[in-house]
């Protein structure tokens, strides 16, 4: 194997661009492993583990980009490097060549100078520098989508307090999804205009809520991401309260759909009480069943139920998400050997993973998970346990792209679990939209077909997205159905179908949430 390392000094690209470059590198025939990343200590450790000589990076730092390729020939390495450069630099018009006629904007001030009418800044830099750049954007009179994570809590508090004083939004840290004025930011789905606004402290939770509202006929006015910590006791809902108050004053919004993993109870109450004069539905995934909703507020424990409640609040009916499931599950049970009793969830969306964990635990009992909310550090998955894995967590993304962008990590686990004689059902979420893989079914459906045809477990697919997305949801669904998978109408329904198969109780698939 040939190991090739190319360094681009003083060339910073954000994490989304890095992932796009890595995907392009790995898509070239003859490439065994590749990565496009910044020369951080963690990434250098990954290079060493993959057998690279990192001497060329001795003087490199977090602002220096590298492309690393391990391939079977000089030709494949050269082709991969060209593909990676094109993916990362084509839109910048530099091709990695510093002699380009129009140099990149190197500071936020330079960027604002080129686009003085900008009113939103998307910031994706290492966490050590993120707060400073966000403050600069606020000073320039802009709202902020702070994609960066690893921002200290005290810096998040300071940013959000300042934003509130200025009447601005700071979405994040760790906010990967937003849609403002029908403009998609980060990982987002293309939805039709409508009267429901989504406010979310959960990225794929926001995508699921907005996509369901779109598909069920209401449309979406705004999607405001808060960052995963906003509704915790530490942050106190600083931006959640500001967002819902802004939407109360928005003439284009009638219904507000609040989405979160379990929030601090007192914070959730403060946010919902900030809504006056408009309908609020709160989909608080996994919230205690004892949670008492304020008068006039509907609280649900799943995203499906939250979207259903929002549609009902508009006086419309939701299509039957259980149609045909009882017969379909019964039919599949006829092909499932008695020894297959376990569920495996292999998720790219962290919120969808947690929702599945909550649903499965309600009907099957204990479920092991690596989600930050659920996992017990140091606890391995017990033998014979049901399991839901968030493959976007660090242990699976170190040195490789996020599974929403590149399915490689999931493919490995899918093949592994597909040969386990104890597994009855595997759940896969397939997230579409801007930033996601351009054709995930092309990668995943053939493997699913082989597993099912070979007598392996049933595979339950949920495709999160809309028919307006670049990948075309309808086409993705057809590909998985043709492969023999069970495709459900919502993410929650996929978990119930899996539970029905594992427990041999078809009626679970039609359970009311």
Q: Which domain holds residue 255?
A: 109-313
Average pLDDT over residues 127-133: 92
87-91, 120-124, 168-172, 194-198: segment of lowest average pLDDT: 87-91
**77 and 127 assigned to the same domain:** no
What's the confidence (pLDDT) of residue 92?
55
User: How far apart are the C-alpha atoms of 126 and 128, rounded to whole Å?
Assistant: 6
Sheet containing strand 486-487, edge to edge, reads 367-369, 386-390, 342-347, 423-431, 458-464, 486-487
**384 and 253 assigned to the same domain:** no
**300 and 402 assigned to the same domain:** no
Q: Which residue reads 């079914």 in tokens?
A: 441
Provide φ and ψ at 146, rounded to 5°: -95, 95
| 6 belongs to a structural domain | yes
**363 and 393 assigned to the same domain:** yes
Q: Domain end: 250, 283, 313, which one?
A: 313
* pLDDT over threshold 50, residue 354: yes
Residues found in the chain: 513
What's the confidence (pLDDT) of residue 376?
64
**6 and 132 assigned to the same domain:** no
| 318 belongs to a structural domain | no
**429 and 309 assigned to the same domain:** no
- Say if residue 173 is preceded by a cis peptide, omega within 30 of 0: yes
Contacts of 512 (CB under 8 A, 6+ apart): none
DSSP letter at 144 equals: E
Helix H, strand E, coil C: the string for 296-329 is CEEEECCHHHHHHHHHHHCCCCCCCCCCCHHHHH
User: How far apart are the C-alpha atoms of 331 and 309, rounded to whole Å?
Assistant: 31
**263 and 347 assigned to the same domain:** no
User: How far apart are the C-alpha atoms of 138 and 119, rounded to whole Å?
Assistant: 10
Average pLDDT over residues 93-119: 72
What's the confidence (pLDDT) of residue 406?
81
For the entire predicted model, the pTM comes to 0.88
What's the confidence (pLDDT) of residue 102?
56
| 94 belongs to a structural domain | no
The Cβ of residue 276 has, within 10 Å, a number of other Cβ atoms equal to 10
Strands 65-71 and 31-38: antiparallel
**305 and 370 assigned to the same domain:** no
* pLDDT over threshold 90, residue 453: yes
The pLDDT tens digits for 55-81 are 999 999 888 999 999 999 999 999 999
User: How far apart are the C-alpha atoms of 69 and 67, rounded to whole Å?
Assistant: 7
What's the confidence (pLDDT) of residue 75?
95
Q: Is 478 or 40 the better-scoring residue by pLDDT?
A: 478
- Distance, CA of 436 to chain centre: 9
The Cβ of residue 335 has, within 10 Å, a number of other Cβ atoms equal to 10
Contact (Cβ atoms closer than 8 angstroms) between residue 274 and residue 258:
no
Average pLDDT over the chain, rounded to an integer = 91
The CATH number given to whatever domain includes residue 348 is 3.40.50.261
What's the confidence (pLDDT) of residue 95?
44
Strands 170-171 and 183-186: unpaired
What's the confidence (pLDDT) of residue 126?
81
Identify the band that residue 416 occupies on the pLDDT scale cut at 50, 70 and 90. Answer: very high
User: How far apart are the C-alpha atoms of 463 and 472, rounded to whole Å?
Assistant: 10
16-25, 181-190, 465-474: segment of lowest average pLDDT: 16-25
**415 and 486 assigned to the same domain:** yes
The pLDDT tens digits for 135-165 are 999 999 999 999 988 899 999 999 999 999 9
The pLDDT tens digits for 252-262 are 999 999 999 88
* pLDDT over threshold 80, residue 356: yes
| 167 belongs to a structural domain | yes
What's the confidence (pLDDT) of residue 98?
41
| 385 belongs to a structural domain | yes
**134 and 258 assigned to the same domain:** yes
Q: Domain end: 262, 284, 313, which one?
A: 313
Identify the band that residue 264 occupies on the pLDDT scale cut at 50, 70 and 90. Answer: very high
What's the confidence (pLDDT) of residue 100?
44
What's the confidence (pLDDT) of residue 444?
97
What's the confidence (pLDDT) of residue 378?
57
Average pLDDT over residues 206-227: 96
The pLDDT tens digits for 368-400 are 988 877 766 556 667 789 999 999 887 777 666
* pLDDT over threshold 50, residue 340: yes
* pLDDT over threshold 80, residue 401: no
| 309 belongs to a structural domain | yes
| 468 belongs to a structural domain | yes
User: How far apart are the C-alpha atoms of 60 and 291, rounded to whole Å?
Assistant: 52
Q: From the CA atom positions of the chain, what is the Rg in Å?
A: 23
* pLDDT over threshold 50, residue 97: no
Q: Coil, strand or helix: which one is 202?
A: coil
What's the confidence (pLDDT) of residue 73?
95
Alpha helix (H) residue ranges in 232-298: 238-248, 265-273
Q: What is the DSSP string of 379-399?
A: -PPPTT-EEEEETTSHHHHTT
> Per the structure, how many domains does the chain have?
3
Contact (Cβ atoms closer than 8 angstroms) between residue 398 and residue 46:
yes
Sheet containing strand 220-225, edge to edge, reads 183-186, 177-180, 220-225, 193-200, 255-260, 279-284, 297-300
Q: Domain end: 253, 278, 313, which one?
A: 313
Alpha helix (H) residue ranges in 373-490: 394-397, 408-418, 440-453, 473-482
Provide φ and ψ at 300, rounded to 5°: -125, 165
| 101 belongs to a structural domain | no
**370 and 398 assigned to the same domain:** yes
* pLDDT over threshold 70, residue 32: yes
Share of the chain above pLDDT 70, in %: 96
**355 and 298 assigned to the same domain:** no
């Amino acid at each position: 194997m040939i190991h090739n390392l190319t360094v681009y000094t003083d060339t910073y690209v954000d994490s989304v661009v890095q992932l796009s470059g890595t995907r392009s590198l790995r898509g070239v025939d003859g490439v065994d492993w590749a990565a496009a990343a910044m020369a951080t200590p963690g990434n250098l450790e990954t290079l060493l583990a993959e057998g690279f000589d990192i001497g060329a990076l001795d003087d490199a730092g977090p602002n220096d980009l590298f492309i690393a390729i391990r391939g079977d020939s000089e030709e494949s390495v050269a082709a991969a490097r060209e593909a990676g450069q094109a993916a990362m630099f084509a839109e910048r018009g530099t091709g990695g060549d510093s002699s380009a006629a129009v140099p990149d904007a190197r500071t936020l001030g330079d960027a604002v100078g080129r686009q003085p009418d900008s009113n939103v800044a998307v910031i994706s830099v290492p966490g050590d520098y993120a707060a400073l750049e966000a403050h600069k954007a606020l000073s320039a009179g802009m709202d902020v989508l702070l994609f960066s994570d690893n921002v200290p809590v005290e810096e998040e508090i300071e940013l959000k307090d300042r934003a509130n004083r200025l009447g601005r939004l700071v979405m994040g840290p760790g906010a990967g999804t937003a849609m403002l004025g029908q403009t998609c930011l980060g990982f987002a789905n293309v939805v039709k205009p409508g009267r429901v606004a989504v406010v979310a402290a959960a990225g794929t939770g926001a995508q699921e809520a907005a996509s369901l509202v779109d598909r069920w006929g209401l449309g979406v006015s705004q999607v405001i991401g808060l960052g995963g910590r906003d509704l915790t006791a530490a942050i106190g809902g600083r931006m959640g309260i500001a967002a819902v108050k802004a939407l109360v004053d928005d003439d284009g919004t009638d219904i507000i759909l609040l989405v979160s993993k379990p929030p601090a109870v007192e914070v959730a109450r403060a946010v919902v009480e900030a809504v006056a004069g408009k309908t609020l539905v709160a989909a608080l995934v996994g919230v205690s069943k004892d949670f008492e909703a304020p008068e006039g507020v509907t609280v649900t424990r799943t995203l499906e139920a939250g979207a259903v409640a929002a549609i009902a609040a508009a006086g419309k009916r939701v299509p039957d998400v259980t149609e045909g499931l009882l017969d379909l599950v019964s039919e599949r049970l006829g092909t499932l050997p008695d020894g297959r009793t376990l569920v495996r969830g292999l998720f790219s969306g962290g919120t969808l993973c947690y929702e599945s964990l909550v649903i499965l635990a309600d009907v099957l009992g204990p479920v092991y998970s690596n989600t930050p909310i659920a996992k017990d550090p140091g606890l391995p998955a017990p033998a014979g346990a049901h399991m839901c894995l968030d493959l976007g967590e660090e242990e699976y993304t170190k040195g490789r792209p996020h599974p929403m962008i590149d399915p490689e990590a999931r493919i490995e686990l899918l093949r592994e679990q597909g040969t386990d004689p104890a597994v009855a059902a595997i759940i896969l979420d397939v997230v579409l939209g801007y930033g996601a893989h351009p054709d995930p079914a092309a990668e995943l459906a053939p493997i699913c077909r082989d597993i099912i045809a070979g007598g392996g477990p049933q595979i339950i697919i949920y495709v999160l997205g809309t028919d307006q997305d670049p990948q075309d949801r309808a086409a993705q669904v057809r590909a998985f159905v043709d492969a023999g998978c069970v495709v459900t109408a919502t993410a929650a329904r996929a978990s119930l179908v899996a539970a029905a198969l594992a427990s041999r109780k078809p009626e679970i698939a039609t359970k009311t949430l």
